[in-house]
Structure 1
């Protein structure tokens, strides 16, 4: 799973859509709807000049943060800090472009319980892999996104997030956060990550589905009018020049899954934003498609039932036990 146990607690949806999920290739029992919210539609209306973030206030200004960007900060504040609405101050002013809704970022962050002063989560600083987050309140807790939204790349922000924008009236027992506790979030906006494959185009193989890409990289897949192959088949449509994906690594991808039988999309990240997951937490055929590939690549994999959901299929996703699956995967980053 991701680099820290608290990562999943910050998301409003699973780290990877459950239509892909499965340990050692075992099928999942449910699927994510393809009609997910679309942060890119908001970003289309949002511009560098119109982007608006929470204002600084007495609480956010009272948090003292020292240290260099991309190094674990020293953070001091009085216990019992609270706000009636989320506040954000900027500790280090970046000079890069603003993080609009739908932007995929490399970040480092530290989160504290504002009531108790307890550090509950930290990740991504120099010496370890950066963490990837999509700027989207459809995907992550609002207070976390407020720490990134509209900040310029190269910035360090400090957010005092109202409990309603974090764990609300239920808290989070696993993190030791009580109901109603506000959070202090120190966020380093390190870089912008591409949201589509950027590798060199490779000629497609014969017998594979045709893939047409929209300007934003979203694929449209046309299944050939032939019988599906009985074994796993893989092609690389774009060859990236990044690091090689390792087994067990956390990767960030865009993906789309299509049924060979109907040509219909049964699940995708397009429309909700890039997603991160461990290569050990997906069906066998999906893992084989990305392990050993390089960051920046786009691959197409044809997955037979034996390396997908087996004879049980996945009824929620409309996948029968005899269904062959086609995934188009853009490999964006690795943790």
Structure 2
């Protein structure tokens, strides 16, 4: 299918990041000048509304949030409900997180997905930046966000956010993501003739719980850096169904930046060299989340075969 989304990322790879971008929303979004300086922490503190939110659920999974509705906030509030013990996030960091948003009007969950957010990025809504700003990894934060820090007076009809609606955002700030070496129960891969799709045969075993990667053939070209625009061929298979759900084979190679795709896919590319062929297994918490109701591929373990053809800094590729 290879349908284009943000920065050319195919639908089956696109992360929740598109929901977090001020540039993708209404004209009521805050100007870049209102975003805190990249050199400083944001000026946001806890308040009665954020302190009044109760969050339950395992860290790194889709949580529940309980609070009095309807909620109407006038300013941004953030409470750290779990303080981690990892490195503190700083401007410019690519922060791995589970982002869960709830309607301040009904209390219902709007979405819950993994996402990679660049701290201090002035293209990201202030409300989402607050959840990852200057906190240790391993932290869980609750942000109460007035419409002025999110989707403004027009809302976001696509995900069901009403005009002017306050949102409650729960963010689990995770450790940097790096796959383990995949040594057992690695699928069998057969590459066809040029232009033909390869065949990936999954072993008859339960899906691996770990995020794992195996390099099938190491390239000798330039190394992929975080945020690079990468050109590649890929094939995605669901371990749960055994079906190929998307691939670029049979057409032109795909091209997108490493931060425009699901966490487990982007992290698998960083540090690899052009010419490399690899296979990676991505558990739900690094793909489309553990909540099976969150979309077609949510709750599933995904396997991607990848051939890296080129890489370049995103600014050079535009």
TM-score grouping bracket, smaller chain normalisation: 0.5 to 0.7
Secondary structure at 2:22 match in 1: coil
Alpha-carbon distance between aligned partners in 2 of 1:136 and 1:164, rounded to the nearest angstrom: 18
Alpha-carbon distance between aligned partners in 2 of 1:288 and 1:109, rounded to the nearest angstrom: 22
Alpha-carbon distance between aligned partners in 1 of 2:13 and 2:168, rounded to the nearest angstrom: 20
1:75 pairs with 2:65: yes
Alpha-carbon distance, 1:105 to partner: 1.2
Query: CA 1:288/1:60 → structure 2, altered by over 3 Å: closer, same or farther?
Result: closer
Secondary structure at 1:84 match in 2: coil
Alpha-carbon contact 1:299-1:329 (below 8 Å) kept: no
Alpha-carbon contact 2:94-2:117 (below 8 Å) kept: yes
Secondary structure at 1:192 match in 2: coil
Which of 54, 57, 60 matches 2:47? 57
Alpha-carbon distance between aligned partners in 2 of 1:288 and 1:59, rounded to the nearest angstrom: 39
| Structure 2: stretches of 5+ with no match in the other structure | 1-10, 25-31, 179-218, 232-245, 259-264, 276-308
Secondary structure at 2:176 match in 1: strand
Alpha-carbon distance between aligned partners in 2 of 1:6 and 1:296, rounded to the nearest angstrom: 19
Equivalence for 2:271: 297
Alpha-carbon distance, 1:295 to partner: 3.0
Query: CA 1:113/1:329 → structure 2, altered by over 3 Å: closer, same or farther?
Result: same
Alpha-carbon distance between aligned partners in 2 of 1:288 and 1:135, rounded to the nearest angstrom: 20
Alpha-carbon distance, 1:7 to partner: 4.4
Alpha-carbon distance, 1:284 to partner: 2.9
Alpha-carbon contact 1:299-1:330 (below 8 Å) kept: no
Alpha-carbon distance between aligned partners in 2 of 1:186 and 1:149, rounded to the nearest angstrom: 13
Equivalence for 1:284: 252
1:122-180: CA deviation from partner (whole Å, max 9, x where unpaired) = 013xxxxxx21212342211111111111211100000011100111111111121111
Secondary structure at 1:169 match in 2: helix
Query: CA 1:4/1:72 → structure 2, altered by over 3 Å: closer, same or farther?
Result: farther
1:204-252: CA deviation from partner (whole Å, max 9, x where unpaired) = xxxxxxxxxxxxxxxxxxxxxxxxxxxxxx8523489xxxxxxxxxxx7
Equivalence for 2:8: none
Equivalence for 1:328: 311
| Structure 1: stretches of 5+ with no match in the other structure | 15-36, 125-130, 195-233, 241-251, 258-277, 302-325
1:264-322: CA deviation from partner (whole Å, max 9, x where unpaired) = xxxxxxxxxxxxxx985xx935559999x953335459xxxxxxxxxxxxxxxxxxxxx
Alpha-carbon distance, 1:183 to partner: 0.6
Aligned length: 199
For 1:1-335, list aligned pairs within 5 A: 1=11, 7-13=17-23, 42-43=37-38, 45-46=39-40, 51-124=41-114, 131-192=115-176, 235-238=220-223, 253-255=227-229, 284-285=252-253, 287=255, 295-299=269-273, 328-329=311-312
Alignment RMSD = 4.0
Query: CA 1:13/1:284 → structure 2, altered by over 3 Å: closer, same or farther?
Result: farther
Query: CA 1:2/1:10 → structure 2, altered by over 3 Å: closer, same or farther?
Result: farther
Secondary structure at 1:117 match in 2: coil
Alpha-carbon contact 1:157-1:187 (below 8 Å) kept: yes
TM-score (normalizing by structure 2):
0.52
Alpha-carbon contact 2:230-2:311 (below 8 Å) kept: yes
Alpha-carbon distance, 1:52 to partner: 3.8
**Higher RCO (C-alpha 8 Å, min separation 6):** 1
Alpha-carbon distance between aligned partners in 1 of 2:247 and 2:51, rounded to the nearest angstrom: 41
Query: CA 1:13/1:192 → structure 2, altered by over 3 Å: closer, same or farther?
Result: farther
- Pair member with larger Rg: 1
Alpha-carbon distance between aligned partners in 1 of 2:257 and 2:79, rounded to the nearest angstrom: 42
Alpha-carbon contact 1:79-1:116 (below 8 Å) kept: yes
Alpha-carbon distance, 1:90 to partner: 0.7
Secondary structure at 2:127 match in 1: helix
